[in-house]
Amino acid sequence: MSDRVRDDVQERIAHFGRPKTLVGVTSLPPASQAVRDHAVVILDVGVIHRVGPNRLHVQLARQLARDGFVTLRFDFSGIGDSEPRPDRVVQDVVRQDISDALSYLEASVKATSFVLVGLCSGANAGLRFARLHPGVVGAVLLDPYWYKTPGFYLRHYGRRILRWQSWRNILTGRGGHWQLVREALRGDEPPAPPEDSLVAPPTVIPRAEMEEGIAELTQRGVQLLNVFTGGHEAYNHKEQFWEAFPRFRGSPEIRVEFLATAGHTFQRPSDRRAVIALIREWLTTKRFAPSPQAPRAADGAGAAPVAS
């Protein structure tokens, strides 16, 4: 049984995993819309369940379905309506959850290639998973973990140097100025990630791992849309991506956007409209490399997923 939402977008409950402990919602294109090759999977943000902050994931999923993308939003184990995994020996639950989500789409709509979308910790989880699954052909990374560069500090202090309040805070020890100086002197290496990642997706990705991951993915032809907001605590200019990793400048697989006025959780409707429009434009115009997996069995009008 499908569930019409608006404009003939159909939504159905997704209940999957081994055992079936994961809960999500699949948004399906209208019957009149040709189904596109790539299914989209939207990942949880921290402890916020699958609707996303300010309902961003719901609005994005429905819009992408109208554009022809089968889109799944779901809860990681122990988050939202998904139960914790009974098998606690699984070392990386998030990785297993995403793997189960892709398997579900393979079985239900015969999808063979995927684009992952994640915000913050969801972006970090998506980036890490993309390296592990050959079916991932693209990733939208919204405010992923990032690295303060010399340019970040120059811009950060450049804006403040003429402000009396900044000098007052420096002289009195208030504010975060001295902490930033200490971070800069330390060389910006993040602390080691926690050992236990059973529930929480990674919040920190060491610089070497990030660089290695981007290199590996771009070499594979995986497309990356990196979107940073003005709410990112460690990112304050569009160029900062390239400042951190100049070797990737000019890479056709990488696109970077900086939404300076948007908050980290896209609280304003106009910010949500802007980021959704950006993702739609990128997804509908980008040429994704074919997945090495088997070609899609049946493209055509109106997805017809099987009950699971």
Partner 1 sequence: MIFVAAGVSTPRSMTPLFFGTAEHRLFGVFQPSRRPAGRSGVVLCYPCGQEYVPAHKAFKSLASLLADAGHDVLRFDYHGTGDSGGDLDGSTRPSWHEDVSMAIEELKDTSGAEQISLCGLRMGAAWAAQVAAGRADVDRIVAWDPVVDGRAYLQSLEPFATSDGEALEGQGFVLTPETRAQFAAVTPAVYARLRVPTLIILTQEDAAGIDPALKAGAGASRRLEVESVAGPCVWIEGELGTGGLPVEALRRIADWLG
Contacts to partner 1 by CB under 8 A: 1-6, 11-13, 15, 19-21, 23, 25, 46-51, 53-55, 58-59, 80-81, 83, 86, 267-270, 307-308
Tell me phi and psi for residue 173, to 5 degrees: 80, 5
**Between 15 and 286, CB nearer to partner 1:** 15
| Contact present, 47 and 1 (Cβ < 8 Å) | no
The Cα angle at residue 241 between residues 281 and 137, in degrees rounded to 5: 45
Residue with the two structure tokens 């997805």: 303
Number of other CB atoms surrounding residue 150 within 10 Å: 10
Quote the least distance from Cβ 81 to partner 1, whole Å: 6
Dmax (CA) for the chain in angstroms is 67
Residue 73: strand, helix, or coil? strand
Closest to 224 in 3D by CA, of 256, 196, 246, 259: 256
Count of Cβ atoms closer than 10 Å to residue 88 Cβ: 9
Of 269 and 290, CB closest to partner 1: 269
* Nearer to partner 1 (CB atom), residue 23 or residue 214: 23
Distance CA 145, CA 235 (A): 9
What is the token pair recorded at 246?
Answer: 């100049």
Q: Which is nearer to partner 1, 44 or 253 (CB)?
A: 44
Q: Which CB sits closer to partner 1, 10 or 240? A: 10
Cβ at position 296, least distance to partner 1 in Å: 24
Nearest to partner 1 of 81, 257 (CB atom)? 81
Dist CA 30 CA 42 (whole Å): 19
Closest CB 230 distance from partner 1, rounded Å: 14
Task: Give min distance, CB of 281 to partner 1, in A.
Answer: 21
Residue with tokens 């300076």: 260
d(CA 244, CA 147): 7
Residue 213: CB minimum distance to partner 1, A: 26
Q: How far is the CB of 142 from partner 1 (least distance, A)?
A: 17
Return the number of the residue (108 or 223) whose C-beta is nearest partner 1: 108
- C-beta of 53: minimal distance to partner 1 in Å? 7
